[in-house]
Amino acid sequence: INIIAELLRVRAKNDTATPLRMLSDDMEGWEITYHAGRIAERAIEQRQQSSKDDGMKLTKEEVSLIGGRVMAITMRLEDLEWELVHRCKQESWIIKYDEWDNFGILQDESCIKSLDKRILSDPLFTINRAERLL
């Protein structure tokens, strides 16, 4: 969840040095894959370092699984986000009780800048969104 949340934050910055969305017409999909892989690799390395003391070091299989899942989510992120928003808008209780934040979505996500701003300013919103995208 933390790696996906980090990917969402990096993408929200719209930094051309680490693009996680198509920022221009001359970009290619492999660039997004490459940067997502680097972010996942750094996060897994940090996890492995912190796990030396607690004995919870990931196995090679777990590392591979996490890396693969992060890459799959990154490459399908827009589709997954659309699906999340679409399903939440069909649930009357989410609308009735204004539960959008618990799912990490805005009631109106038509403005990417508003979504990016929220992701960068609200860690709980970002974690909720990352969790639902898994």
pLDDT tens for residues 88-127? 999 999 999 999 999 999 999 999 999 999 999 999 999 9
Using alpha carbons, list the distances in angstroms from residue 121 to 54, 78, 80: 31, 20, 22
Q: What is the pLDDT of residue 9?
A: 95
pLDDT tens for residues 60-77? 999 999 988 988 898 899
- Rounded to whole angstroms, how far apart are CA atoms 50 and 53? 7
Output the pTM of the full model. Answer: 0.86
Task: Please determine, for residue 82, whether its predicted confidence score (pLDDT) is greater than 80.
Answer: yes
Chain position carrying tokens 């590392």: 63
